């Protein structure tokens, strides 16, 4: 997809995440433009993120410099910069503060895949164990070390970051991580949280990989929420 299309789809993601309660005054999302050394990120100033237009997307290079756009990049733009600069698979990055994901970190519950959907995130979701914003280059490097090649990370007492190769995948991972956190918190309340086996997780990962991009779980979840939150 070319640049204008990717920017439009990022705006659609902003609307969906806003309407689903993931984005409010805080949180931001970005998309990298294939073959270029820059990305677009939603601007940092508080406003309704359901009605952003293209001028609300700030163009930023891999050194973190603003190239274009109304307003300023978010304070934690480094979360996006380090991932787009370092990871080939980082097409879209989402940073939000979902309730159950934060509750997991507060309660000291580690991520374990206990549903088929959660297995899409892989065997583990690492944690960044400093309860603070990620702002400086040093903090950005430390964050990058922690996330490694994982698809998502939990930020202690703060929120999450998810990394998709596409915008649809990043949405799926964000939605599924919060859903999984809710299952995990409730399972712990019940006193039992049976994890899937390594084989079950691998089977899920293989299945997702085998699906055509327009028929797999990422596309279906996107289509449902795009329709549900339209208008
Ligand atoms: Zn944050």
The answer to whether residue 109 sits within a structural domain is yes
pLDDT of residue 24: 86
Percent of the chain with pLDDT over 70: 97
The answer to whether residue 169 sits within a structural domain is yes
- Does pLDDT of 48 surpass 70? no
Q: How many domains does the chain have?
A: 1
CA of 168 to the centre of ligand 1 (A): 21
**Measured between alpha carbons, how far is 27 from 18 in angstroms, rounded to an integer?**
10
- Does pLDDT of 47 surpass 70? no
- Does pLDDT of 51 surpass 80? no
Sequence-ordered list of residues with C-beta below 8 angstroms from that of 223, at least 6 positions apart, any chain: none
The answer to whether residue 53 sits within a structural domain is yes
CA of 76 to the centre of ligand 1 (A): 7
pLDDT of residue 53: 84
Strand order in the sheet with 66-68: 66-68, 57-61, 38-42, 28-32, 92-96, 159-164, 152-155, 127-128
Confidence category of residue 70, pLDDT binned at 50, 70, 90:
confident
> For residues 217 and 225, is the Cβ–Cβ distance under 8 A?
no
The answer to whether residue 230 sits within a structural domain is no
Mean residue pLDDT of the chain comes to 94
CA of 160 to the centre of ligand 1 (A): 8
- Does pLDDT of 230 surpass 80? yes
pLDDT of residue 124: 93
Confidence category of residue 55, pLDDT binned at 50, 70, 90:
confident
- Does pLDDT of 10 surpass 70? yes
CA of 105 to the centre of ligand 1 (A): 14
Confidence category of residue 46, pLDDT binned at 50, 70, 90:
low
- Does pLDDT of 17 surpass 70? yes
- Does pLDDT of 231 surpass 80? no
For residue 92, the cross-strand partners are 31, 164
CA of 97 to the centre of ligand 1 (A): 6
For tokens 């702002």, the residue is 135
CATH classification of the domain holding 13: 3.40.225.10
Single pTM value for the model: 0.96
CA of 196 to the centre of ligand 1 (A): 30
pLDDT of residue 111: 96
CA of 54 to the centre of ligand 1 (A): 22
CA of 77 to the centre of ligand 1 (A): 10
Query: Other CB atoms closer than 10 Å to residue 35's CB: what's the count?
Result: 5
What domain range is 133 assigned to?
3-225
**Measured between alpha carbons, how far is 64 from 177 in angstroms, rounded to an integer?**
27
- Does pLDDT of 30 surpass 80? yes
* Structure confidence by residue, pLDDT tens digits, 171-229: 999 999 999 999 999 999 999 989 999 999 999 999 999 998 888 999 999 999 999 99
CA of 132 to the centre of ligand 1 (A): 8
């Amino acid at each position: 997809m070319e640049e204008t299309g990717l920017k439009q789809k990022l705006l659609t993601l902003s609307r969906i995440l806003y309407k689903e309660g993931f984005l409010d005054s805080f949180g931001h999302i970005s998309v990298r433009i294939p073959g270029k050394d820059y990305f677009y990120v939603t601007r940092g100033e508080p406003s309704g993120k359901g009605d952003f237009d293209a001028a609300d997307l700030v163009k930023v290079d891999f050194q973190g410099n603003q190239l274009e756009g109304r307003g300023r990049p978010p304070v934690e733009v480094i979360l996006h910069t380090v991932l787009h600069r370092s990871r080939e698979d980082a097409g879209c990055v989402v940073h939000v503060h979902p309730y159950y994901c934060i509750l997991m970190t507060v309660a000291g519950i580690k991520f374990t895949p206990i549903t088929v959907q959660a297995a899409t995130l892989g065997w583990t979701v690492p944690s960044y164990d400093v309860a603070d914003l990620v702002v400086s280059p040093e903090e950005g490097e430390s964050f990058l070390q922690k996330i490694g090649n994982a698809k998502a990370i939990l930020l202690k007492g703060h929120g999450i970051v998810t990394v998709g190769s596409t915008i649809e995948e990043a949405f799926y991972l964000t939605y599924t991580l919060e859903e999984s956190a809710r299952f995990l918190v409730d399972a712990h309340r019940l006193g039992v949280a049976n994890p899937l086996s390594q084989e079950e997780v691998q089977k899920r990962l293989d299945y997702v990989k085998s699906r055509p991009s327009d028929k797999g779980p990422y596309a279906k979840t996107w289509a449902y929420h795009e329709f549900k939150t339209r208008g």
